Amino acid sequence: MFLTCKQVSNHLSKEDYAKLSPFRKFTLKLHVLICPVCGKYNQQVMKFQDMARTFRKQEEDFLEDDRPESPHLNEDSKKRMAELIEQDKAS
């Protein structure tokens, strides 16, 4: 149940924190919260891993956002690409 500082930093330096089991995450969080030695540094590392995880969802929303004001390929480029695909099909 109790992790050493070394185990904590091993998990965090592999950046795999977000993928750990809920129990492992909990023990990790607890250690980082109370440990005077590695706590502060690793709290920040964990904040970034949470942030990146959430950002991933944000990115997906941005990619799917098809409103006129979001970025689009221009029509000429689309036409050119469609023609290239057509050519490939013919060959």
Is residue 28 a contact partner of residue 3, using CB atoms and an 8 Å limit? yes
Residue 13 makes contact with another protein by CB under 8 A? yes
Residue 3 makes contact with Zn ion by CB under 5 A? no
Residue 32 makes contact with another protein by CB under 8 A? no
* Residue 51 contacts which entry, another protein, Zn ion, none (Cβ below 5-8 A, type-dependent): another protein
- Burial grade of 23 (CB within 10 A; 0-12, 13-18, 19 or more): exposed
**Could you tell me the two tokens for 4?**
């050493």
Q: Which is nearer to Zn ion, 20 or 63 (CB)?
A: 20
SS3 at position 37: coil
Q: How many CA atoms does the CB half-sphere of 41 hold within 13 Å?
A: 8
Q: Which positions touch another protein (CB under 8 A)?
A: 4-10, 13-15, 18-19, 37-38, 40-41, 43-45, 47-52, 54-56, 58-59, 62-66, 70-73, 77-78, 80-82, 84-86, 88-89
Q: Which positions touch Zn ion (CB under 5 A)?
A: 5, 35, 37-38
